[in-house]
């Protein structure tokens, strides 16, 4: 059971070329345009000359009965505790065992040093921490590359190993908006980013050109590589989630360092509650307090204007935040009105609001295929606003024709108390003989 990423990795490291198992199917949840594909034979290995079919997760019961399935392996992230119970019950009811794989069984052992950035929930602020660490590595002159958690939504045969060294590479690989959200900020700052499907082969390529692998996690999944320094970001604007999300709680328990982010916008009592929960789950982790500072490139286009806020898609949908950095910027810089985009949504964008009723008056930057990108563009252009606030890290103006001016939001991590993340990273690099 997957969502195009963790499921493929688990198969690659544990089941491919393993004659003790027959994998009859993948199922796909959370994301559109994933089901109905084939995990191709080029990736599936010698035991699967025709590849492996991918079905919608809703068909799990039928698949168990039709194929006589013994085990169903949960292989995706950002689930709440009740989600796990529900999926377990569905699988057990149809006659199969429900399985959760262990951390160590699914991690690849690297030759080089790995710093991993993970989170308790999607939208906690991993990307700001990853970029902060990348800047420190550049300052120290340590050769590094970023390896990003997978988002293989296109032709899997063309995505086995991807290396992004410039914004022009984005056009070559034609990534989705979600992929652009993660890659563009790194590329603008000069980092090289690896991603793809086969993370064993990706590691081989990355270790040829770097002494440090900076694992930039996705959702709240744990790393695919065994880290030497395991960092988990928690979010006090959603207190309690750090103890009730899967596998976010695992990240919290595994962490060497916990970054309590967004302390500048969270309530003081929520920060204290999260700190208590962190200590409940992990007594050995070093704790860093951090602020998430929001800024925009053209504040004059917000002040006194009617604005449409476009947010990072995963953060406000299955991350459950509802609003994010774009909304914060609209309030901070004095927008006259935040126009609710829901009445103007079309196609799959309208369906997104129906699927995620917790969404606030913001537009999630959904774009998992060309059709959805065009529907997002049409929705933006239909909204009667003076300005578009792009809270997504992806520069939508590169791939869309917008009929109104846009403002780009940036958000950065700033140390705000506790231990120093910089000192912790330096200590780790010294132990590895890299500084």
CATH architecture label of 106-293+413-431: 3-Layer(aba) Sandwich (3.40)
Check residue 32 and give its pLDDT: 64
- Residues 312/314/318/320 CA torsion (nearest 10 deg): -30
In angstroms, the CA 166 to CA 192 distance is 8
- pLDDT (tens digit per residue) in 334-347: 999 999 999 999 99
337-338 and 306-311 beta bridge pairing: parallel
Confidence at residue 153, expressed as pLDDT on a 0 to 100 scale: 78
The CB density around residue 433, as the number of other CB atoms within 10 Å, is 8
Residue 368's pLDDT is what? 75
Q: H or E element: which one contains 182?
A: helix 177-188
Three-state secondary-structure class, residue 53: strand
Residue stretches of the chain with pLDDT short of 50: none
The tokens for 222 are: 């744990």
Rounded to an integer, what distance in angstroms lies between the CA atom of residue 79 and that of residue 221?
10
Q: Residue 78 is encoded by which pair of tokens?
A: 């950002």
The confidence score (pLDDT) of residue 394 equals: 83
pLDDT score, position 397: 82
Helix axes 60-67, 81-93, angle to 10 degrees: 40
CB 132 within 8 A of CB 291: no
Calculate the dihedral angle through the C-alpha atoms of 77, 78, 80, 86, rounding to the nearest 10 degrees. Answer: -40
Q: Are 362 and 326 in contact (CB under 8 A)?
A: yes
- Distance between CA 182 and CA 151 in Å, rounded? 10
Instruction: Give the per-residue pLDDT at 318.
Output: 77
Domain ranges of the chain: 6-101, 106-293+413-431, 296-410
pLDDT at 33: 64
């Amino acid at each position: 059971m997957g969502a195009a990423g963790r499921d493929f990795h688990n198969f690659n490291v544990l089941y491919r070329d393993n004659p003790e198992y027959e994998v009859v199917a993948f199922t796909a949840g959370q994301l559109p345009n994933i089901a109905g594909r084939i995990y191709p034979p080029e990736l599936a290995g010698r035991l699967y000359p025709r590849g492996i079919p991918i079905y919608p997760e809703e068909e799990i019961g039928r698949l168990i009965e039709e194929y006589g399935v013994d085990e169903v392996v949960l292989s995706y992230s950002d689930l709440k505790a009740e989600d796990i119970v529900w999926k377990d019950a569905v699988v057990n009811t149809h006659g199969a065992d429900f399985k959760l794989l262990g951390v160590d069984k699914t991690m690849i052992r690297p030759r080089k040093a790995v710093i991993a950035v993970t989170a308790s929930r999607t939208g906690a602020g991993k990307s700001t921490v990853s970029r902060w660490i990348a800047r420190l590595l550049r300052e120290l002159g340590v050769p590094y590359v970023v390896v990003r958690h997978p988002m293989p939504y296109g032709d899997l045969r063309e995505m086995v190993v991807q290396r992004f060294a410039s914004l022009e590479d984005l056009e070559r690989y034609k990534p989705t908006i979600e992929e652009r959200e993660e890659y563009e900020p790194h590329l603008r700052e000069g980092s090289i980013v690896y991603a793809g499907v086969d993370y064993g082969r990706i590691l081989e390529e990355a270790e040829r050109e770097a002494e440090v692998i900076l694992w930039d996690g996705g959702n709240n999944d744990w790393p695919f590589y065994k880290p030497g320094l395991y960092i988990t970001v928690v979010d006090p604007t959603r207190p309690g989630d750090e103890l009730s999300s899967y596998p976010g709680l695992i990240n919290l328990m595994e962490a060497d360092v916990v970054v309590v982010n967004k302390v500048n916008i969270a309530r003081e009592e929520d920060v204290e509650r999260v700190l208590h929960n962190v200590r409940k789950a992990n007594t050995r982790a070093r704790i860093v307090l951090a602020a998430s500072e929001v800024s925009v490139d053209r504040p004059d286009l917000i002040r006194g204007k009617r604005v449409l806020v476009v947010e990072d898609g995963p953060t406000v949908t299955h991350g459950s935040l509802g609003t994010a950095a774009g909304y914060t910027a609209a309030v901070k810089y004095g927008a006259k009105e935040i126009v609710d985009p829901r009445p103007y949504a079309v196609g799959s964008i309208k369906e997104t609001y129906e699927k995620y009723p917790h969404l606030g008056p913001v537009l999630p930057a959904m774009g998992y295929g060309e059709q959805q990108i065009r529907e997002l563009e049409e929705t933006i252009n239909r909204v009667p606003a003076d300005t578009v606030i792009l809270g997504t890290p992806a520069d939508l103006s590169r791939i869309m024709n917008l009929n109104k001016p846009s403002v780009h939001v940036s958000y950065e991590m700033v140390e705000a108390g506790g231990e120093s993340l910089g000192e912790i990273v330096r200590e780790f690099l010294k132990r590895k003989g890299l500084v």
